[in-house]
């Protein structure tokens, strides 16, 4: 199931790129047909999850529901290609990936699970902040200097958020150690992710 999921994500990225270029316009009939297709794909994906057991079933269900949410958000972004709808599509993908990653962490225990969750959170923060920067870059502006300042501020904020998330993930890996090794690990993480 991983290969089709990766293919869908790749197609999603291509669709977002086309949306950004304004290459797609959609009629009401096309929109309705696309919604029905999304619903059919969701039902088929849920059916594939039924024979699975335990956390594999939970992961499969998260993938199915995540793909449905992403597809719906991308559909709306194709129908109304604005920076806001494109950001919503990017955020839907970030949220879906995060939910799937967290569900996969449930197979782990103890420190390994904590590290997995922190890594998932860091990846989510990266994707959310990238969506914010992309929106700021895509926003039309009557004043190019104000837009440039807004994009620069958004990038600065995004860098701070991602550094903090990366630090927390690195610190979680350090928490699996003890003594001098842990102290050195934390010091290294603080140095790498210092503000």
Q: What is the pLDDT of residues 45-64, one digit of tens each?
A: 999 999 999 999 999 999 99
The predicted-structure confidence for 147-156, as pLDDT tens digits, reads as follows 888 889 999 9
The predicted-structure confidence for 65-120, as pLDDT tens digits, reads as follows 999 999 999 999 999 999 999 999 999 999 999 999 999 999 999 999 999 999 99
Spatial separation of the C-alpha atoms in residues 80 and 86, rounded to whole Å: 9
The predicted-structure confidence for 9-29, as pLDDT tens digits, reads as follows 544 544 544 444 444 577 889
On the question of pLDDT at 5 being above 70, the answer is: no
pLDDT for the residue numbered 3: 47
pTM: 0.80
List the domain boundaries for the chain: 1-93, 108-195
Is 187 in contact with 155 (CB distance < 8 Å)?
A: no
- CA–CA distances in Å: residue 76 to residues 15, 32, 45, 138, 165: 12, 11, 21, 17, 30
Half-sphere exposure of 49 (CA within 13 A, CB side): 18
- 3-state class of 52 per DSSP? coil
The predicted-structure confidence for 147-186, as pLDDT tens digits, reads as follows 888 889 999 999 999 999 999 999 999 988 899 999 999 9
Contacts of 70 (CB under 8 A, 6+ apart): 8, 12, 89, 92, 93, 96
Q: What is the mean pLDDT of residues 116-143?
A: 92
| DSSP secondary structure, 54-106, as one string | HHHHHHHHHHHHHHHHHHHHHHHHHHS--HHHHHHHHHHHHHHHHHHHHHHHT
């Amino acid at each position: 199931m991983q290969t089709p999921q990766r293919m869908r994500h790749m197609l999603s990225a291509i669709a977002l790129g086309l949306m950004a270029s304004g290459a797609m316009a959609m009629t009401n009939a096309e929109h309705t047909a696309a919604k029905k297709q999304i619903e059919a794909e969701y039902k088929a994906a849920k059916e594939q999850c039924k024979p699975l057991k335990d956390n594999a079933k939970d992961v499969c269900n998260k993938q199915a529901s995540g793909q449905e949410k992403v597809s719906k958000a991308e559909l709306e972004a194709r129908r109304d290609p604005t920076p806001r709808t494109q950001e919503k599509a990017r955020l839907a993908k970030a949220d879906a990936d995060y939910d799937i990653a967290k569900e996969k962490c449930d197979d782990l225990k103890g420190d390994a699970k904590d590290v997995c969750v922190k890594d998932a959170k860091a990846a989510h923060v990266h994707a959310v902040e990238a969506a914010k920067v992309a929106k700021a870059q895509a926003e039309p502006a009557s004043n190019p200097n104000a837009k440039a300042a807004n994009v620069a501020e958004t990038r600065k904020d995004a860098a701070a958020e991602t550094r903090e998330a990366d630090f927390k993930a690195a610190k979680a890996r350090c928490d699996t150690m003890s003594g001098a090794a842990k102290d050195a690990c934390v010091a290294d993480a603080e140095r790498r992710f210092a503000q």
